[in-house]
Chain A
Amino acid sequence: MLFKTITKENFRNMIEGIMENNEVIGPKSRDRDTKGAKIYRFLKLNSFDELEMDYTRSYSSPKNYFLPFKEDLATYDLRDTGWEQEIRYTIHPRIIVGMRACDINALLKLDQVMLKSQYPNPYYSARRRNTVIIGLDHEPLEDCFCRSMNTDTAFHGFDLFMTDIGEKYFVAINSDTGYMILNRFDSCEVGEEDQLLYKEVRGRIESKFKTQVDITIVPELMDLEFESDVWKRWGDKCLSCGSCAMVCPTCYCYGIEEDIDLNFDKATKRRFLYSCNLLDFATVAGGHNFRPEAHIRLKYRYYHQFRGFVEAFNQSLCVGCNRCGKACLAGISPKAVIDDLIGTEKR
């Protein structure tokens, strides 16, 4: 990998330069919560000043720029003699600034499913390939457990990745596009001092992780403790609202709906993100529900995250951002559930 540095002033020039002709998405505060803390979201930026480089955690993840909440898969022209299908992808170049390592790793996990599988998903692929990602390091929050999930650093999956080393950003370059962008603006070679500073910052970040989740034996526990009352304990609290999946950077379950125009000449096939915690997730015709109870559905969310995905790709699906824990009105967080699961094993 190539590395460079860029001064904060030049970084500003760079983002402003890109903004002239491209859509730039970045963390922006929109609202405040009841305690007065800012709520951040990844939104389109109209000027550099809207970009909040010191943001903590975005409420929902930037995954929605790759897997939109709702997306038209196809439209149909209905005629008396039949119909014509039209499929269009949004191939709309975009730059996302300020993505965290965990969110970049989340994309890499989605890539496994959406790109590197038997049936690559062209809609995702079009968005993924036409999005430039500029990552940004940060100091872990109280409840981040990405280090336990091995997703606290990103080594690929981005174009540029920046670490704040005081006066400058230390930039890892991972694509030709990233290299070209950087080269148009004044960037410098990495000096000895920059390298020392970088190591120091990385060391400081690593020492600041407070939350740990031990997942070593969790894949096995998912089967061993399948009937455990841990699931009932947490599951009975679950409101089956699906918020956890909506904010999660890796949850990708979806549903399909088809609509027809009032004058019966156009139809649309639409995909919308779903959640395996919603009541009718596994209901089939005739009304049989393979997962009738909230605790069974909650268990399966964890089963997919911590067992199913491990079996398929040798890694957990969860990246440890704790967005779901924060969003959950019932107070269910992965750390609490997994600690409880491990606890029953020791008892």
Chain B
Amino acid sequence: MSKPPDFNRQTILMQSERGFKSEIIAAIPLTAKEKLFHIRICDPCERENFTFLPGQFIMIELPGCGEIPISISSSTSNKEFLALCIRNVGKVTGMLHRLKAGAIVGIRGPFGTHFPMEKMTGYNVLLMAGGLGIAPLRAPIYWANNHRSDYKDIIILYGAKEPEQILFGYQFEEWRTIYNLNILTIVQKADKRWPGRKGIITDLFGDIHIEPDNTFAIVCGPPVMFKFVCAHLSTLGLPRQRMFVSLERRMHCGMGKCCRCNVGSTFTCLDGPVFDYWTVMNLKEAI
């Protein structure tokens, strides 16, 4: 019997599987463990068509080494390159840290949900980051700067372990003066040379005034941090649906297939990483 005619229907190869070949155009050391990578999609056409929203992530691949999720930390309006702030913690990140400008990597994406910047129009925006949590916050900060008149007060609270670990500190002055953002930093441990505050991020709540009816909050950092921060904000009366957090889980696909990022009944890569706090409360073991 010959082959039935239904056979050999081709399937279209999805971009989400293939990925974009991209070049590292700069690898800038920020601290002992973190580097900022500027990555440009090689094909001009693909580069032009690549768009993302604040809070989304990409999967970055080093052939033969592995593939990992990294939040995009550049402005959505930057068409030249994507900025990725990567901490050296293991195999793939370690290998990335050894790469120099000119190296070719693969990226797939963008994946995941985003911070609903449009919904925040007309509100105060409170952004809170702990440690590396500032990386996913850079995209919404740039967005807010680019649409500064859409928002009322913008406050950034940033907590780090030590002054040396503060990321992007060199940009704070520019953000303060040009874009009129209020940025407060706090560190857990510091010697006498540190002029600023010492403590944990929730200590900064005493220094600012929050209008619960008029504020959206974005929180990024380790799980313990957003647990405390969101609990505090709820007691102030901020509705849980106006607080957004970005969750981190192990990820292998970014497309809701491998299940590795499963929390409760959802997948962090599809329904997250950005969740509102009401959803997070309803997800088993989210925090």
Residues of A within 8 A of B (CB): 17-18, 20-22, 73, 76, 78, 81-83, 85, 87, 89, 91, 93, 113-114, 117-122, 125-126, 129-130, 132, 175-177, 180-181, 184, 223, 226, 252-260, 267-269, 274, 276, 281-286, 290-291, 296, 300, 303-304, 307-308, 311-312
Q: Does residue B209 face the partner (Cβ distance < 8 Å to A)?
A: no
**Quick one: closest A residue to B104, CB to CB?**
A82
Most chain A CB atoms below 10 A, which of B5, B13, B266, B285: B285
A304-B255 contact in complex given A78-B64, A258-B66, C-beta closer than 8 Å: no
Contact A85 B63 (CB under 8 A): yes
Contact residues in B for A276 (Cβ distance below 8 Å): 259, 262
**Quick one: closest B residue to A219, CB to CB?**
B265
Contact A126 B1 (CB under 8 A): no
Within 8 A of A (CB), among B85-119: 89-90, 93, 104, 106
A82 to B42, CA, bound (A): 11
A226 to B259, CA, bound (A): 20
Contact B285 A307 (CB under 8 A): no
Contact A308 B264 (CB under 8 A): yes
State the majority secondary structure of interface residues on B: loop
A83 to B42, CA, bound (A): 12
Contact residues in A for B4 (Cβ distance below 8 Å): 93, 132, 177, 180-181
A276 to B93, CA, bound (A): 25
A276 to B262, CA, bound (A): 10
**Quick one: closest A residue to B23, CB to CB?**
A82
Which segment of B47-55, B141-149, B153-161, B246-254 sits at the interface? B246-254
* Further contacts, 12 of them, CB under 8 A, given A118-B256, A122-B14, A129-B11: A20-B1, A21-B2, A93-B7, A119-B14, A122-B12, A181-B1, A254-B259, A255-B252, A258-B65, A284-B248, A290-B249, A304-B259
Contact residues in B for A286 (Cβ distance below 8 Å): 89-90
Residues of B within 8 A of A (CB): 1-14, 16-19, 21, 61-67, 89-90, 93, 104, 106, 248-250, 252-253, 255-260, 262-266, 270, 284-285
A82 to B22, CA, bound (A): 10
Contact B249 A73 (CB under 8 A): no
Contact residues in A for B90 (Cβ distance below 8 Å): 285-286
- The contact sample of 21 A-B pairs, CB cut-off 8 A, is A78-B63, A78-B64, A87-B13, A114-B257, A117-B256, A118-B256, A120-B11, A122-B12, A126-B11, A176-B5, A176-B6, A177-B7, A254-B259, A260-B65, A269-B67, A274-B258, A274-B260, A276-B262, A282-B250, A284-B249, A303-B265
State the majority secondary structure of interface residues on A: mixed
